[in-house]
Amino acid sequence: MEKFMYLFRGGDNHAHNANDSAVAQENMQAWMKWMGELGQKGILVGAEPLQPTGKQVSGKNKVVTDGPYAETKEMVGGYLIVNAKDIDEAVEISKGCPVFNENGKVEVRPIQKMEM
């Protein structure tokens, strides 16, 4: 088993926002269902949604600026880590992600094991 990180980019609407609209409710249910299934299979390692705002610290001088300023559709909105056999399986699993219903996309990245 290898670990893979899904980076969720874009998406109209974050399912985790406490929003009572019917669509938000539906999205929430979809996330619960999908992550519940991953949890039951025992392959879910962790996942968190991210707020759209934050700070950037950069350079040798550690300059702090507001950010990130990426376009909404490119912005990382959250991540999830799964255990999968290989990248193909990780990709297959990612297809169940509700972010696609929200016009988002998933970037599947193998976690790098550092050489000893």
Positions that interact with another protein (CB under 8 A)? 15-16, 18, 28-29, 31-32, 35-36, 38-40, 44, 46-49, 78, 80
Tokens 């705002």 sit on residue? 53
Shortest distance (Å) from residue 102 CB to another protein: 12
Q: How many residues does the chain have?
A: 116
Nearer Cβ to another protein, position 18 or 22? 18
Q: Residue 83: beta bridge partners?
A: 3
Shortest distance (Å) from residue 13 CB to another protein: 13
Nearer Cβ to another protein, position 40 or 61? 40
Nearer Cβ to another protein, position 44 or 91? 44
Shortest distance (Å) from residue 31 CB to another protein: 5
Beta strands 76-84 and 104-110: pairing type? unpaired
Element (H, E) at 35: helix 22-41
Nearer Cβ to another protein, position 29 or 65? 29
Shortest distance (Å) from residue 115 CB to another protein: 30
> What radius of gyration, in Å, describes the C-alpha atoms of the chain?
16
Q: Residue 22: beta bridge partners?
A: none
Residue 97 has phi, psi (to 5 degrees) of: -70, 130
